[in-house]
Amino acid sequence: MQRLYRKRIVLGVGGGIAAYKSAELVRRLLDQGAEVRVVMTRGGSEFITPLTMQALSGHPVHLDLLDPEAEAAMGHIELAKWADLVLIAPATADLIARLAQGLANDLLTTLVLATDATVAIAPAMNQAMWRDPATQANTQLLQSRGLKVVGPASGSQACGDVGFGRMLEAEDLVHCAAECFQRQALTGKHVLITAGPTQENIDPVRYITNHSSGKMGFALAEAAAEAGARVTLITGPVHLPTPDRVTRIDVVSARDMLAACEAAIPCDVFIASAAVADYRPEVVAPQKLKKDPTKGDGLLLQMVRNPDILATIATRPDRPFSVGFAAETEHLLDYAARKLKDKNLDLIVANDVANPSIGFNSEENACSVIDRDLHATVFAQTSKGKIARQLVTFIAERLNQV
């Protein structure tokens, strides 16, 4: 179940007896490679101790909205931005009612209002409370707002009643969490993605490259696979695991990458996120270049232009929907708009790599996407995984308009 690998999950624990299942849920989520942070209501901490949840998750448990230490750094906002998924299990009748009313009277309800991540709730309460019209109305209201409701199950309850109201078991909730990342906006489409740097040899031991880590391209490949696409990922030299359900092709140079892209066509969408070297040495020395005292302290390399992979693919007669990336250190939107026009692109993603918090090798990103009408859509800073899913959704919507 690699859909949860490296996903950031905030687990909210409400004040119900089913909170004991939340401990097992943390362990099962971690087993699937997810990162988990726990937020507990005061009621939740009466049923299972924060120390238990801290020991299982490996991170401090968040309890109070007005924790001076955490809120000095706007802790609830940071958690809201961090999360890919907020899963509330158990969600009591009281907590469901407060969420439906849009209250922000504790850390968990405030976080739900502040996040743009998917929010899922696992109801857990007495069968009569679950059947009550108020609870049903509140649950339906939350669903109409886009929150996912998973469960409840039917069975014997702590009070002795039998009926619907039992929280789903941990294993079932893990599957439900994985399904939150299963979007089908690109079902039946072939998406070709380039990622990472290229390396251009100088001699057998030296080469020219750049700082690209490939993280954004790999995140896009994972998001496209989640969206139901058949994904081909062509990557330069990086040290990243291959996303589930993605066909990976490793290359070294820009010319290798172009050849691999042309071999992978036809495709429906081409996303060129690789940082391809614009130039390469005209001649690759057959042996290691040695220092030559007779030529002074300098070394002159004659460079020639590499093929423009993005423009080559985007101007083919059978061109796919083409998305480029512009990594710039100044005049970001102007340079990106020029690149979009010059290379005949449908969209271009503009990244400010001068900002160290979202530049090469960082875990987060922020970007603006420019379309053919030169309209820019801004995606706020968050994890590269979340940005990738937002971009894939945006690309799918534009593809369907073509």
Look at the alpha carbons of 197, 201, 205, 207 in this order and tell me if their dihedral is positive or negative. Answer: negative
Q: Is 111 annotated as a binding residue?
A: no
Q: Is 249 annotated as a binding residue?
A: no
Q: Quick check: 196 and 236 in contact, CB under 8 A?
A: yes
Quick one: how many helices (H) and strands (E) in the chain?
Answer: 15, 19
The pairing of beta strand 364-371 with beta strand 347-352: antiparallel
Q: Quick check: 269 and 323 in contact, CB under 8 A?
A: yes
Q: 25 CB contacts (<8 Å, ≥6 apart)?
A: 11, 89, 170, 173, 174
Q: CA-to-CA distance for 363 and 382, rounded, in angstroms?
A: 9
Q: Is 384 annotated as a binding residue?
A: no
Q: Please state at what angle helix 170-179 crosses helix 19-31, rounded to 10 degrees.
A: 60
Paired residues of 350 in beta bridges: 326, 368
Q: Which two tokens stand for residue 295?
A: 């030529």
Look at the alpha carbons of 193, 197, 201, 204 in this order and tell me if their dihedral is positive or negative. Answer: negative
Q: Quick check: 149 and 139 in contact, CB under 8 A?
A: yes
The pairing of beta strand 190-195 with beta strand 200-203: unpaired
Q: CA-to-CA distance for 356 and 401, rounded, in angstroms?
A: 35
Look at the alpha carbons of 6, 12, 13, 19 in this order and tell me if their dihedral is positive or negative. Answer: negative
Q: Quick check: 247 and 263 in contact, CB under 8 A?
A: no
Q: CA-to-CA distance for 251 and 257, rounded, in angstroms?
A: 6
> Is residue 261 annotated as part of the catalytic site, yes or no?
no
Q: Is 204 annotated as a binding residue?
A: no
- Helix-strand-coil percent breakdown of the chain, rounded to 5? 35, 25, 40
Q: Is 278 annotated as a binding residue?
A: yes
Q: Is 309 annotated as a binding residue?
A: yes
Q: CA-to-CA distance for 365 and 239, rounded, in angstroms?
A: 19
Find the length of the chain.
402
Q: Is 307 annotated as a binding residue?
A: yes
Q: CA-to-CA distance for 70 and 74, rounded, in angstroms?
A: 7
Q: Is 339 annotated as a binding residue?
A: yes
Look at the alpha carbons of 187, 174, 149, 180 in this order and tell me if their dihedral is positive or negative. Answer: negative
Binding site residues, as ranges?
Answer: 278, 288, 307-310, 325, 339, 343
Binding site residues for CTP, as ranges?
Answer: 278, 288, 307-310, 325, 339, 343
Catalytic residues: 159
